[in-house]
Amino acid sequence: MQAVLPFPEISPEIVSVTIFGLELALRWYALAYIVGILIGWRLVVMAVNRPRLWPHGEAPMTAEQVEELLTWVILGVIIGGRLGFVFFYKPAYYLENPLEIPMIWQGGMAFHGGLLGVIIAGGVFCWRNGIPMLSAADALALAAPPGILLGRIANFINAELWGRPSYVPWAMVFPTDPLGLPRHPSQLYEAFLEGFVLMVVLICLVWVRRSLHEPGRTAGIFFAGYGIGRFIVEWFRESDPQFYLGNPYGYAVYWGEYGLSMGQLLSLPMIAIGLALAAWARRRAAYA
């Protein structure tokens, strides 16, 4: 039985040039990072330029400080995302090949590692500049979903991180799949849930419900929302091969007929922390 939808033939490279024998290429994945960061930056600048959205009618940082924070965030995303992939997904391989750790152009970034990198970089920036960390976390949470949305679309164009075999009408045969099986386009599921839906929810919370008046609430909802979306999509996403621990499902943890992938294991703490943070922020604001 064949997949109903053909995989679109889109080159991962937008443009490629050769200079002095060195080939330089602009890829959709890199463009997704760049455009996602720019959109997120503009969303935060729009928010800080509207003091009424913040506690006591005062934004926690200036537009100039948002630009400075952007540099720290980029470093946190790249370093944290790469090290997260190395330690969460392929520690044994990179222990044998440590010189390949900096080679991010070969691929291999982990969202949870990138998130941890942003938290650390953002925390240091706030400490150095006397910026309230919870309000800064809310601002960064508002900025994150556009990048996630575009990044997952780039994963789809690259034909990577595809889903489990399926014969749903929208299943596709990915050209990188050695088995040539129809699969869920799980990258698009993630783009929709973790990117688009979460972006709409946070924008509505900030501009309609004024959630920034409760420092930490927007960040908590982002953590929980992303974790829930990722946990759901992992049921349709092919598990990473390094986690096939002697079971037919490829789960990182396997209990009878049920199991959890590494993505789900990493998402559970996000859900718990996010819900707790959002509830605490709401309660704290109520008694302030």
- Which pLDDT does position 35 carry in this prediction? 93
Residue 100 placed within a domain: no
**Residue 112 domain flag:** no
Return the percent helix, strand and coil in the chain, to nearest 5: 60, 10, 30
Mean pLDDT of the chain: 85
Q: What is the DSSP letter of 205?
A: H
At 232-263, the pLDDT tens digits run 999 899 876 544 444 444 444 444 445 677 78
Which residues lie closer than 8 Å to 116 by C-beta, 6 or more apart? 80, 84
Does residue 122 lie in a domain region? no
Q: Hey, is 62 helix, strand or coil?
A: coil
Query: Which residue type occupies 63?
Result: A
Domain membership flag for residue 114: no
DSSP notation for 223-268 = HHHHHHHHHHHTTTBPPPGGG--SSTT--SEEETTEEE-HHHHHHH
For residue 245, is it within any domain? yes
Domain-located, residue 233: yes
In a domain, 148, yes or no: yes
Whether residue 115 is contained in a domain is answered as no
Residue 209 belongs to domain spanning: 13-60+132-286
Q: pLDDT: is 136 or 253 the higher one?
A: 136
Counted domains in the chain: 1
pLDDT at 23: 64
| Buried-exposed string 88-97: b where 16+ CB fall within 10 A, e elsewhere | bbbeeebeee
